[in-house]
Amino acid sequence: MSSFFSLDSRFGRTFKPFLFRPGKITDSFNKGMRVMYAHPIRWYLVISIFHFFFFSLVVDPSETKGRSFVVNSNSEELTEAQFDSLYHLPDSLHDEESWPVSDHYFMMIDKMNQENVLSPSEIMDSLKLNHLPFVERIATKQLVKINHESSASLVGYLLRQIPIVMFFVLPIYAFILKIFFWRKGLYIKHLVHSLHIHSFFFFVMSLGYISILISEELGNKIIAPITFLIGAAYILFSFRNIYKVKWFWTVIRYFMVGFTYSIMLSIAFVLGVLISFVFF
């Protein structure tokens, strides 16, 4: 913890070239000048802490209303008599088209969660769902737990997973850089570049969040778009300064990297959400 989070004079020397000379500290680090500037991982972790702190202030999960997940839009109208009839329905008559359990079970799960009397484990026992095959049982149990929570609780949980997902995205972005600039050094060079690029983007986004906290209208309509454009321009100039490619090919590869990264980032977040639900 001390190695990665302690602040020293190198942070002061790093800040100016980091902000105003895109690619400078990346190039210096890759050339062996590793004492003058802050370590890339330490730099990323410190800035990401500030970024996600301000992000958490702007995105307030407590403003999210309602249930987190309603398994059946008509289940709120389910009467006690209807619930009893579904409960005593033989398994052979349940609709088997849905997964991991039938729609009838989904309706009963939602009804029992609305009453907020039983815990998820007790609901599983009450509906006798523990006899399901392993995969279906685990999936059903997670659905019961998700349905049991409020929207604010679920959104807050997912927001806490974003820093973890982004940390695993860093080497993916470095791999994309390696593909499009495969003659421009070893993979570790692109990984350092990835750390610095994400650090800068987190930094300017933090400024956008601060502006939103000061004036929501000014921040959303003016400052936030400007910070995004600054971040995009920074990446373009860092490509040019580090890889020494002609401007035409720099711009072409810039858009190709951006397009590929947007696809990989979307996939990473979808997988992150699914994995988060598994361990919810």
- Domain closes at, from 110, 132, 148: 148
Tokens of 53: 């702190």
* For the chain, percent of residues with pLDDT exceeding 90: 38
In a domain, 209, yes or no: yes
Measured CA to CA, the distance from residue 4 to residue 45 in angstroms comes to: 7
Q: Which residue has the higher pLDDT, 113 or 193?
A: 193
pLDDT of 75: 46
In a domain, 155, yes or no: yes
Q: How confident is the model at residue 74 (pLDDT cuts 50, 70, 90)?
A: very low
Say whether both 58 and 96 belong to one domain: no
Tokens of 188: 């570790």
CA dihedral over 139, 71, 277, 149, signed as positive or negative? negative
Say whether both 240 and 218 belong to one domain: yes
Q: What is residue 182's three-state secondary structure? A: coil
In a domain, 168, yes or no: yes
Say whether both 160 and 143 belong to one domain: no
Tokens of 23: 């690619």
pLDDT of 73: 45
Q: Is 39's pLDDT higher than 70? A: yes
- Domain closes at, from 111, 131, 148: 148
Measured CA to CA, the distance from residue 66 to residue 166 in angstroms comes to: 28
| pTM of the shown model | 0.76
Angle at Cα 58 formed by Cα 147 and Cα 156, nearest 5°?
20
In a domain, 52, yes or no: yes
Measured CA to CA, the distance from residue 235 to residue 162 in angstroms comes to: 22
- Domain closes at, from 124, 148, 172: 148
In a domain, 69, yes or no: no
Say whether both 155 and 144 belong to one domain: no
In a domain, 99, yes or no: yes
Say whether both 142 and 155 belong to one domain: no
Which of 24, 46, 53 shows the shortest CA–CA distance to 192? 24
In a domain, 205, yes or no: yes
Cβ proximity of 256 and 237 under 8 Å = no
Q: Is 76's pLDDT higher than 70? A: no
Residues in contact with 123: Cβ distance below 8 Å, sequence separation at least 6, in sequence order:
109, 112, 113, 144, 148
Measured CA to CA, the distance from residue 167 to residue 233 in angstroms comes to: 23
Say whether both 106 and 117 belong to one domain: yes
- What pLDDT, in 10s, does the model give residues 48-73? 999 999 998 888 766 665 555 544 44
Residues in contact with 170: Cβ distance below 8 Å, sequence separation at least 6, in sequence order:
44, 191, 194, 195, 198
Residues in contact with 205: Cβ distance below 8 Å, sequence separation at least 6, in sequence order:
51, 55, 227, 228, 231
- What pLDDT, in 10s, does the model give residues 84-102? 666 655 555 455 566 667 7
Give mean pLDDT, residues 185-210.
Answer: 93
Say whether both 268 and 167 belong to one domain: yes
**Residue 186 domain boundaries:** 2-64+151-278
Q: What's the N-to-C CA distance of the chain in angstroms?
A: 27
Say whether both 254 and 136 belong to one domain: no
Q: Which residue has the higher pLDDT, 32 or 197?
A: 197
Q: Which residues pair with 150 in a beta bridge?
A: 67
- Provide the domain count of the chain: 2
Say whether both 191 and 84 belong to one domain: no
In a domain, 70, yes or no: no
Say whether both 162 and 144 belong to one domain: no
- What pLDDT, in 10s, does the model give residues 215-263? 888 888 888 889 989 999 999 999 999 999 999 999 999 999 999 999 9
C-alpha distances in Å from residue 158, one per residue of 27, 52, 230: 35, 13, 28
- What pLDDT, in 10s, does the model give residues 149-179? 777 788 888 888 899 999 999 999 999 999 9
Say whether both 166 and 139 belong to one domain: no
Q: Is 80's pLDDT higher than 80? A: no
pLDDT of 118: 75
Measured CA to CA, the distance from residue 60 to residue 248 in angstroms comes to: 42
Q: Which residue has the higher pLDDT, 160 or 106?
A: 160
